[in-house]
Amino acid sequence: FSLTFSLTGNLIYFYLLKKFDNLRIDFKFQISNFKFIILGGLVSALLVSLSANLHPAFYNFKMQILRKPYCDGAFTYWYPNATRYIGYCPDVDDKTIHEFPSYSFIVSDLHGHVSDIPFVLTFLALSFTLFLKIKEDKDLSLAFVFKSPFLIFSFLLGIMFMTNQWDYPIYLMVLGFVLFFGFFQHYGKNVKTITQSALLGIIILIPSIILFLPFQLGFDPIVKGIAFVRTHSLPHQLLILWGAPWFFGLTLLIYLFGYKIKIKNIFKKENFIKWISKFLNVDIELKNKKEKPLIANYSLLITDVFVLILFLVSTILIIIPEIIYVKDIYIASYHRANTVFKLTYQSFIMFSVGIGYVLTRVLSSLKKGFKRNLLLVSYTFLLFCLLVYPFYSIKGYYGSLAPKTYKGLFGLQFMQRLYPDDYKTIVWLNNNVSGQPNILEAVGDSYTDYERISMATGLPTIEGWLVHEWLWRGSFDEPGKRQTEVQTIYESKDISQTKELLNKYHIKYLIVGEMERQKYPNLNQEKLTSLGKKVFESSQTAVYELP
């Protein structure tokens, strides 16, 4: 959480510090003013780390003010509903997931899409520096390509692939737009724009593939192809989920390109410049009036283009699962759930990064007046609606926030409180076992306290949460087989078969505790005791060391 917050704040701080070299713009509210820079960074940091969509604000207003129940009949807000909306309200066979970092942090999620957030933010920061370098470098020969720090991008893309594979094509798309529009600034509608973009893209792509190839060769993906979706989101649902960032993006577009609505002949440069000056309330002077204008011209800053790229890619990621989805193990009513989840999670991050810039860019550029005041009120209202979520999610997950209920940052505190014998077992293993010997404990369902010993010690076991193991492999064959084998070890009366299975998985420590007894009611205690030496015991939990 802290890393996400600080990285986002610094990223926007850097965006807003960058000057536009081709123009001299005298803003009434200078963008270099420190308070605006801090404001932009703080807004984006808060949005990425703590905000949600408009679902909490909209349905709280509907339930509490209008006294109309939620789709399930409730009059109180339940925070996970903001991540499970399409397909659930109304209840139809199109269940989707549209999570965001705030929810992930609240529920202590450490899946790949969360672990990858620091790499994503770092990639966005470096992409912007590459965008600037392409713009500022006067020599765009082949030598430029090899002077660029492309290996950093290759490294980050390779890490993304191994952490959360969905992020690899997503940020390749971001990089592709950055390269294309970056070179377009120099070459315009010239074949060099495409060739240079493709060349640098390939040079970045190949090392990234080499980096993740050893991982991929031993990895069995769950992807079973791509298909057209069977259902679509309702328009009002998309607006509740994405209406706020689209509004910010729309105001930036109107601010930058509103002249197209006002001027009949927009291709006349003198009319174009005159209207832009009037619309933005700024004085604009081109450094070189004879130079053919490309992207970075008039009021369009290099950062504007980059942020527009973020909004464009984010919107594309929302549109994709309305057309196609990646086939995996999910049943028909959840067929596009994972595709919506993994694509729009990144949309949320990029939108949130861009909003802080948009707010500061537009408000700091307009003179005091009706337009600015209207935007200020609109922006403030939307930010309030987006940031109301923690007031429901934190309390909903953690209960009372009174100081006396504070539990601290110790992640195993719940084990210490709920499973004291297992906690003592974990402490003993951490203090007395070296290396990575295999252990055996009960196999349980997802989102339960099973696999608690392997989780807290890092020691490998035969199988983790059943459905997660199934999802990661795309087939139930191996997880199902292992589940049965673990049950056999704990319950079978055949000691020879039990020893054979223990040897097959090189089990060194066997755990027998209350959760094993609950999971396996026919647990053969006498057999298990005879298999090895009891090296630790705490009331209901024992550890047996096998020869």
Q: Chain-wide mean pLDDT for the chain?
A: 84
The per-residue pLDDT for range 383-398, each reduced to its tens digit, is: 999 999 999 999 898 8
User: For 395-407, what is the mean pLDDT?
Assistant: 83
Burial (CB count within 10 angstroms: exposed 0-12, middle 13-18, buried 19+), residue 177: buried
Tokens representing residue 305 in the block = 């283009």
pLDDT over 90 (residue 473): no
The per-residue pLDDT for range 365-386, each reduced to its tens digit, is: 787 888 889 999 999 999 999 9
CB atoms within 10 A of CB 176: 15
Measured distance CA(354)–CA(174) in Å, rounded? 14
Q: If pLDDT is split at 50, 70 and 90, which confidence band does 194 have?
A: confident
Tokens representing residue 474 in the block = 């795309």
pLDDT at 18: 57
pLDDT at 142: 54
Tokens representing residue 425 in the block = 């077992």
Q: If pLDDT is split at 50, 70 and 90, which confidence band does 287 have?
A: very low
Measured distance CA(396)–CA(403) in Å, rounded? 16
User: For 160-187, what is the mean pLDDT?
Assistant: 89
User: For 182-200, what is the mean pLDDT?
Assistant: 81
Measured distance CA(414)–CA(418) in Å, rounded? 6
pLDDT at 489: 95
pLDDT at 137: 67
Closest CA to 251 of 344, 173, 366, 345: 366
Q: If pLDDT is split at 50, 70 and 90, which confidence band does 295 have?
A: very low
Closest CA to 212 of 176, 169, 172, 165: 165
pLDDT at 243: 96
pLDDT over 70 (residue 279): no
Strand partners, 543: 511, 536
Measured distance CA(444)–CA(449) in Å, rounded? 8
Burial 275-290 (b: 16+ CB within 10 A, else e): bbeebbbbebeeeeee
What is the DSSP secondary-structure string of 455-488? HHH----S---HHHHHHHHT-SHHHHHHHHHHHH
Measured distance CA(1)–CA(6) in Å, rounded? 9
Query: Running DSSP on this structure, what letter comes out for residue 189?
Result: S
What is the DSSP secondary-structure string of 118-133? HHHHHHHHHHHHHHHH
Please give the single-letter amino acid code of residue 414: F
pLDDT over 50 (residue 338): yes
pLDDT over 50 (residue 38): yes
Strands (E), 130-233: 226-228
Highest mean pLDDT among 284-288, 407-411, 431-435, 465-469: 431-435
The per-residue pLDDT for range 217-263, each reduced to its tens digit, is: 887 777 788 999 999 999 999 999 999 999 999 999 888 876 444 44
Q: Which residue has the higher pLDDT, 458 or 148?
A: 458
Tokens representing residue 69 in the block = 């129940």
The per-residue pLDDT for range 482-504, each reduced to its tens digit, is: 999 999 999 999 999 999 999 99
Domains and CATH numbers, the chain: 2-394 (no CATH), 413-545 (3.40.50)
Q: Which residue has the higher pLDDT, 473 or 178?
A: 178
Phi, psi of 172 (to 5 degrees): -65, -40
User: For 115-144, what is the mean pLDDT?
Assistant: 79
The per-residue pLDDT for range 504-543, each reduced to its tens digit, is: 999 999 999 999 999 999 999 999 999 999 999 999 899 9
